[in-house]
Structure 1
Amino acid sequence: MDRGEEVVRQLYGRWRGPLHGYVLRLVGGDHQYAEDVVQETLLRAWKHVDELTPDDAGPWLYTVARNLVISGFRRRGGRNSEVPIEPKDLPPVADEVEHVLQSWQVAEALRALSPDHRAVVVELYYRRRTVTEAAAVLGVPPGTVKSRCFYALRALRDALEERGVTES
């Protein structure tokens, strides 16, 4: 992983939540609009990765987000609407960036699970083990694997919904 990717990962981990809360207040509680502004802000941070450090990027990120909200309101006559993104502003790998950002959100939600629940999800969904195989690896009965999986997936779904990640 190059330095740029690592900085963007750190920026996302540290600033995504606070930035989303800030923008959410600016846009009157419109979660989708707030998420769009945060995504665009982080994309712009990616373009300026050589100038930013995760610890000192807050003022820059908040300024960019605020300016995006203001310009969006002006263009749409003061209504909540999508953040205007000019084609020249998009990196050529926009789909990959979206995928990376969603992957980070899933990883963040996984880290929030208890170690037992996280272990079950990793064994079943990432390592593609059966319930019986996961039970053997984890040293617990198959019924425990099923139960932990049920509660882990419910917690993951709730955590991802809070972060604005929904099923497509």
Structure 2
Amino acid sequence: MPVDDAARLTALYDAHAGSVWRYVVHLTGDRTGADDVVQETLLRAWRSPRILEQDPATMRSWLFTVARHLVIDEVRSAHHRHEQAVSELPERARSDDTDALFEAILIEEALATLTPEHRAVIVTAYYGGRSIAQAAVELGVPEGTVKSRLHYALRALRLAFQERGVTQ
């Protein structure tokens, strides 16, 4: 920061910081927050060279207006409206397993509507994580039969879910 800028900023602070700070404290009642508002107000004045060239009375009213707008903006902000100080932290939310339980019951009911052969191929391939070849070996049927049963089992399962009100 050049010497001239530093001197202007120091002069601005010395001349107006105290009165702006008192004004903000009067508006908000928050002494700590007033420091931030004063800093931002003086920074905006320093960034506006035409303001610094005005007479002191006009500059002071401009500073008060800027400070008031900053206070209003803070009050209107979502941060200010939704933040509530509490003496204790709330308990952590625990996950609710109700949805998972209902889904498990729904799947169990839908699987029960399938033929034993279709149910076996679905359970082996999808829930067991087996490939077509592994499922064929485990179930003792050809790979083509596993593919065919999977196709028809999935169609029947989709229909069973639709009958229960489940849509994609």
Structure whose CA Rg is larger: 2
| TM-score in terms of structure 1 length | 0.43
TM-score, normalization by structure 2: 0.43
More helix per residue: 1 or 2?
2
Structure with bigger RCO (C-alpha 8 Å, 6+ apart): 1
